[in-house]
A and B are shown apart, each in its own frame.
Chain A
Amino acid sequence: MTSGLRTERIAVLGETWEGWLCAAFLARLLGRMTQVVVVPTPQDAGAPPALASLPSMRGLHDAMGLDEHDLARACEGTFRLGTLHEREAGRSFVVPFGAPGPSLEGAAFHQHWLRLKVQGDEGGFEPHWLGAVLARSGRFLPQAEVEGLPLPEYGLHLSGAAYAKFMQRAALHYGAKRAARLAQALPGNDDRIDALRLEDGADLRADLYLDCTGTAPDAAAGWHDAGAAPALAWSEDSTQPNLSATRMRLEEDAEDILIPLAGRSIRLRSGGPGGEGRLGWQARSWRGNLVAIGAAACRLPPLEMPQMRIAQIGIEALRGLLPNGADQRVEREEFNRVTSEAYARLADFQRLHRILAGRAAQPAPDDPLARKIEQFESRGRVVTYDGESFDQDSHLAVMLGHGLMPRRYDPLTETVPAGEARSRLKQHRRAVLRAAETAQDQGEVARILHAPRRRSAGGGR
């Protein structure tokens, strides 16, 4: 291909954690082919005190050649096995990552439990789910083989400021540049940016501009509105109840979230009036030659900590659609289709929580969420669609966790004699217990991981 069709330069607007993440990713991915320049802007949002990732984020970090242990070490990180949802009257449930157990005779694992449960002689589901047990007990099992159990997956809890700094170092190490601050974006034809005028007077031209400022334009055309943004109050908390789980409490009209970092916790209260801007997402987050990624594209409440996932959605979509010429229409349309679908599913997942907690209206019959609830309620069947961030297992955990009990179980479970099913589940629980016992306490893991050490070789320059 001739260089005329190449993307010579990508300008990342916003010296934010998302901006540096994009820059690091693209600089690493594109190497010498494309220059990546980060341009600070006056609108740049500060890094949130804490971030949390899903297990799928590891793919992105891997692609950058970053080891998640190094990342955790550099960012006060802990390993996130799931979310602990505290409900009223001391009740709580865990939404872990990964699967609980293998299917049996054509019926999903949880259906076998459900069958015994409705017959009245079975306890809760959680003891069957190694990920949940680890998350609740503050343990971590990096990658041991555990007899016949699906391996628990994990994300990270990270300090937002440290993560931004880490990504900045990585980006610069991989060859990205930092330019002077933005004075003004110079518009061209058809929604396009012609150039960026910088405070040092220079004009910076790029083939593609990424909006990573973290601020979404209020009510721009194509904005899918999801209500007024709640007020966010961050604070530091010295309590360290459990390093393996994000703790989340749904209150009357607030969410109270505790994110455990190594050595301290970050508390986020979200709710009430006084929030900035609106919640929602851009149905067309790529317009002209400007692609919005992260909070500039989609802003959702902090339930299940979606911020990193939102950035990940945009970055991964862009990765598959990096333009190879000036005409970006086709890439743009596909990007907008894929990302708006993913944002909608992510917002739905949060709404599912709220509906089941009795804090949001029941879905209308033609709402895609209605199908998920109906099918689970009726027969424990988990429905998911294209573009989901959370898989069937996460849906299962949320629905069971909120106490949505299916009216029936899958009849195929009955091809296993009840006695055998009972002893299989018992065996499974025992295996979970044994595995949990061999797992390390995450306090211990953190002490070793974050012990002062001589300069590490990993993690950029």
Chain B
Amino acid sequence: MSGMHENARARDGVREVSIIGGGTAGWMTAAALARLIAPLGVKVRLIESDAIGTVGVGEATLPHIRFFNERLGIDEAEFMAATQATIKLGIEFRGWGREGDSYIHPFGDYGREAGGVAFHQLWRRLHAEGKAGRICDYSLPVVMAEQDRFAPPAADPRSVMSSFSYAYQMDATLYARFLRAFAEGLGVERVEGRIVDAALVPDTDHVDHVILEDGRRIGGDLFVDCSGFRGLLIEGALKAGYEDWSDVLPCDRAVAVPCDSAGPPSPYTRATARKAGWQWRIPLQHRLGNGYVYCSDHIGDQEAADDLLSCLDAAPQAEPRFLRFRTGRRRRQWVGNTVALGLSAGFLEPLESTSIYLIQAGITTLVELFPEGPVDPLDAAEFDRVMALEYERVRDFLVLHYFATERDDSPFWDRVRTMAIPDSLSHKMELFRRRGSVVQYKDGLFLEPSWLAVYLGQRVVPEGHDPLADRMPLDKAERYLAELRSQIRRTVDALPRHEDFLKRHCPAAAA
């Protein structure tokens, strides 16, 4: 029996984890490892440089973050108050299919399946005959968002209140600070200093130690590279390589600026299509986060900043900040004893608020594959497989937003409207166009309702529907839809306003 037991022996393996970087990725990793792995006798340390600073613009999240916080044992109200957080029920996309269009991509379902056929197929049939409203009218979270109302979802699957989920809009810098306090409370050691070099174990791809500006050397059995775009270890020291996806996602810059709130915060993020990219608007309790993500081939930095400033809801609170990025994915996200998480692992623009989710997915996978003993290259390969699938499926979903457009009002939109897209996306679109069917997969972030939201919201209209939708007699189907719609309306009317919910549940200190 003893021969097969490697766990005990393994303890002589990874005893120290060094996390490089203290942005959102670094502190999320530190908090999770402190909670989950440190109790096993593993020391967790984080190195960051105040001089370098963080990106700090990740403000909108996906519902998965709730499970992350829950697993760590973080109290929701405390977390929301500490990060000036608001509720997020989805994203409103303005001007994507055509100028003037608008739709909300909600965290939740459209209608309810009836008679063995997907709701949207039934809807499509009636809609084609002018006998149904907007698909949005059958989505509880959309109607909640439109009316600025919110109450937590119900657990009872029979209740219409169980048909949605929610996420947060929060100050990412405050979140990192919150997690730092949490992680330090659990014994994570924080090292301040600028890393100037990394030394490998000779003739291997294993990092032995990093060297700080003041000469200190810091070792570790496992390194987590959360150093941001520069990928200090994964690229700098280990040359993992980068798969560039800017041919399908050509935006490469952003300018961000916070401004005062102009009214109560809405429970959704807004993404407005612009001449050379798109603009985000994220309402927090104490301010609005704003930014313009653009393609430098089609607009200059100054023009982009002026553009952004000219359409803020209220007075800016700071000077505009400029950011540069290259969309894509590190070819290998785990090399030797270094795992890349966050911006050092890859970048996908924040159109669907996926970055923090991808950090979380990386952490979960790392914990599952946590190398106690000598790092096994097979685990690295498995990590890469799992994460590659995540990144690619998110990529396709983002590309859809640009490609599914009729906009021809600028060279940027001409470019994305006519670009060549991955086969993995074109076959999905074709199937939807043909018959309104959404390609299903087991592993992947965005499920059927998300694809539906964007297809239908951006004028990818099915030519036909599933013939099974024809089975229900027309008048019965009509009554079914009408009842659903009024049930949703009645339910939402009775809910508290989002701002009142925040005031009661998690009021933040005035900023």
Q: Are B378 and A374 in contact (CB under 8 A)?
A: yes
Q: Are A325 and B464 in contact (CB under 8 A)?
A: yes
Q: Are A119 and B427 in contact (CB under 8 A)?
A: no
Check if B461 is an interface residue, CB within 8 A of chain A: no
Q: Are A5 and B464 in contact (CB under 8 A)?
A: yes
Q: Are B7 and A378 in contact (CB under 8 A)?
A: no
Flag A314-343 by CB within 8 Å of B: 1 or 0 each.
Answer: 000001111111000011011001000000
Q: Are B5 and A29 in contact (CB under 8 A)?
A: no
Check if A383 is an interface residue, CB within 8 A of chain B: yes
Q: Are B443 and A106 in contact (CB under 8 A)?
A: no
Chain A residues near B125: list those with CB within 8 A.
1
Q: Are B378 and A375 in contact (CB under 8 A)?
A: yes
Check if A386 is an interface residue, CB within 8 A of chain B: yes
Q: Are B437 and A118 in contact (CB under 8 A)?
A: no
Q: Are A324 and B435 in contact (CB under 8 A)?
A: yes
User: Could you tell me which residues of chain B, from 361 to 376, have a CB within 8 Å of some CB in chain A?
Assistant: 367-370, 372-373, 376
Check if B217 is an interface residue, CB within 8 A of chain A: no
A29–B367 Cα gap in the complex (Å)?
Answer: 46
Check if A63 is an interface residue, CB within 8 A of chain B: yes
A409–B368 Cα gap in the complex (Å)?
Answer: 10
CB contact under 8 A between A324 and B465, given known A118-B1, A412-B367: yes
Q: Are B431 and A330 in contact (CB under 8 A)?
A: yes
Flag B459-472 by CB within 8 Å of A: 1 or 0 each.
Answer: 00000111110110
Q: Are B39 and A414 in contact (CB under 8 A)?
A: yes
Check if A385 is an interface residue, CB within 8 A of chain B: yes
Main SS at interface, chain B:
helix
User: Among the listed B378, B379, B442, B464, which residue makes an inter-chain contact with A386, where contact means beta carbons less than 8 Å apart?
Assistant: B442
Chain A residues near B465: list those with CB within 8 A.
1, 324
Check if A177 is an interface residue, CB within 8 A of chain B: no
Chain B residues near A238: list those with CB within 8 A.
none
Q: Are B430 and A330 in contact (CB under 8 A)?
A: yes
Check if A7 is an interface residue, CB within 8 A of chain B: yes
Chain B residues near A378: list those with CB within 8 A.
376, 378-379
Chain B residues near A69: list those with CB within 8 A.
none
Check if A434 is an interface residue, CB within 8 A of chain B: no
- How near does chain A come to B43, taking the closest CB pair, in angstroms? 14
Q: Are B370 and A411 in contact (CB under 8 A)?
A: yes
- How near does chain A come to B414, taking the closest CB pair, in angstroms? 27
Chain B's closest residue to A370 (CB) is B378
Chain A residues near B324: list those with CB within 8 A.
none
User: Could you tell me which residues of chain A, from 367 to 425, have a CB within 8 Å of some CB in chain B?
Assistant: 371, 374-375, 378-379, 381, 383-388, 405-412, 414-415
Q: Are A106 and B4 in contact (CB under 8 A)?
A: no
CB contact under 8 A between A408 and B373, given known A1-B128, A1-B465, A371-B385: yes
Q: Are A29 and B468 in contact (CB under 8 A)?
A: yes
User: Among the listed B7, B385, B467, which residue makes an inter-chain contact with A118, where contact means beta carbons less than 8 Å apart?
Assistant: B7
User: Among the listed A1, A324, A371, which residue makes an inter-chain contact with B382, where contact means beta carbons less than 8 Å apart?
Assistant: A371
Chain B's closest residue to A371 (CB) is B382
Chain B residues near A374: list those with CB within 8 A.
378, 382
Chain A's closest residue to B439 (CB) is A334
Chain A residues near B181: list those with CB within 8 A.
none
Chain B residues near A322: list those with CB within 8 A.
466-468
A303–B69 Cα gap in the complex (Å)?
Answer: 45
CB contact under 8 A between A386 and B441, given known A33-B471, A412-B36: yes
Check if A120 is an interface residue, CB within 8 A of chain B: yes
Check if A6 is an interface residue, CB within 8 A of chain B: yes
Chain B residues near A406: list those with CB within 8 A.
4
- How near does chain B come to A247, taking the closest CB pair, in angstroms? 30
Chain B's closest residue to A105 (CB) is B36
CB contact under 8 A between A320 and B71, given known A408-B372, A409-B7: no
Q: Are A31 and B435 in contact (CB under 8 A)?
A: no
Q: Are A379 and B471 in contact (CB under 8 A)?
A: no
Check if A30 is an interface residue, CB within 8 A of chain B: yes
Flag A39-63 by CB within 8 Å of B: 1 or 0 each.
Answer: 0000000000000000000000001
A392–B125 Cα gap in the complex (Å)?
Answer: 38
A385–B444 Cα gap in the complex (Å)?
Answer: 11
- How near does chain A come to B445, taking the closest CB pair, in angstroms? 14
A7–B465 Cα gap in the complex (Å)?
Answer: 12
Q: Are A33 and B467 in contact (CB under 8 A)?
A: yes
Q: Are B4 and A407 in contact (CB under 8 A)?
A: yes
Q: Are A331 and B6 in contact (CB under 8 A)?
A: no
Flag A118-135 by CB within 8 Å of B: 1 or 0 each.
Answer: 111000000000000000
- How near does chain B come to A461, taking the closest CB pair, in angstroms? 22
Q: Are B435 and A381 in contact (CB under 8 A)?
A: no
Chain B's closest residue to A321 (CB) is B437
Chain A's closest residue to B367 (CB) is A412
Q: Are B441 and A30 in contact (CB under 8 A)?
A: no
Chain B residues near A407: list those with CB within 8 A.
4-6
User: Among the listed A30, A106, A334, A337, which residue makes an inter-chain contact with B467, where contact means beta carbons less than 8 Å apart?
Assistant: A30
A381–B368 Cα gap in the complex (Å)?
Answer: 8
Chain A residues near B36: list those with CB within 8 A.
106, 412, 415
- How near does chain A come to B71, taking the closest CB pair, in angstroms? 7
A415–B73 Cα gap in the complex (Å)?
Answer: 14
Chain B residues near A321: list those with CB within 8 A.
435, 437
Chain B's closest residue to A384 (CB) is B442
- How near does chain A come to B1, taking the closest CB pair, in angstroms? 5
Flag B35-76 by CB within 8 Å of A: 1 or 0 each.
Answer: 011011000000000000000000000000000000100000
Q: Are A383 and B467 in contact (CB under 8 A)?
A: no
Q: Are B382 and A118 in contact (CB under 8 A)?
A: no
Chain A residues near B467: list those with CB within 8 A.
1, 6-7, 30, 33-34, 322-324
Check if B434 is an interface residue, CB within 8 A of chain A: yes
CB contact under 8 A between A324 and B6, given known A63-B116, A330-B435, A414-B39: no
Check if B2 is an interface residue, CB within 8 A of chain A: yes
Chain A residues near B2: list those with CB within 8 A.
120
Check if B10 is an interface residue, CB within 8 A of chain A: yes
- How near does chain B come to A95, taking the closest CB pair, in angstroms? 21
Chain B residues near A324: list those with CB within 8 A.
435, 464-467
- How near does chain B come to A365, taking the closest CB pair, in angstroms? 9
Interface core residue of B116, B434, B443 (most chain A CB under 10 Å): B434
- How near does chain B come to A309, taking the closest CB pair, in angstroms? 17
Chain B's closest residue to A410 (CB) is B368
Chain B residues near A412: list those with CB within 8 A.
36, 367
CB contact under 8 A between A375 and B382, given known A320-B437, A322-B467, A333-B427: yes
User: Could you tell me which residues of chain A, from 60 to 82, have a CB within 8 Å of some CB in chain B?
Assistant: 63
* Apart from the given pairs A324-B464, A378-B379, 19 other A-B contacts in the complex at a CB distance below 8 Å: A1-B128, A1-B464, A5-B464, A30-B468, A106-B71, A119-B5, A120-B2, A322-B468, A324-B467, A337-B427, A371-B385, A375-B378, A378-B378, A379-B379, A381-B369, A407-B5, A408-B6, A408-B7, A408-B372
| Cβ-closest 6 pairs across A and B | A118-B5, A330-B434, A324-B464, A120-B1, A408-B6, A407-B6
Chain B residues within 8 Å of A, Cβ to Cβ: 1-2, 4-7, 10, 36-37, 39-40, 71, 116, 125, 128, 367-370, 372-373, 376, 378-379, 381-382, 385, 427, 430-431, 433-435, 437, 439, 441-443, 464-468, 470-471
Instruction: Pull 11 A–B residue pairs with CB atoms less than 8 Å apart, ordered by A.
Output: A33-B471, A106-B36, A115-B7, A324-B464, A331-B435, A378-B378, A388-B442, A407-B4, A408-B6, A410-B368, A415-B40
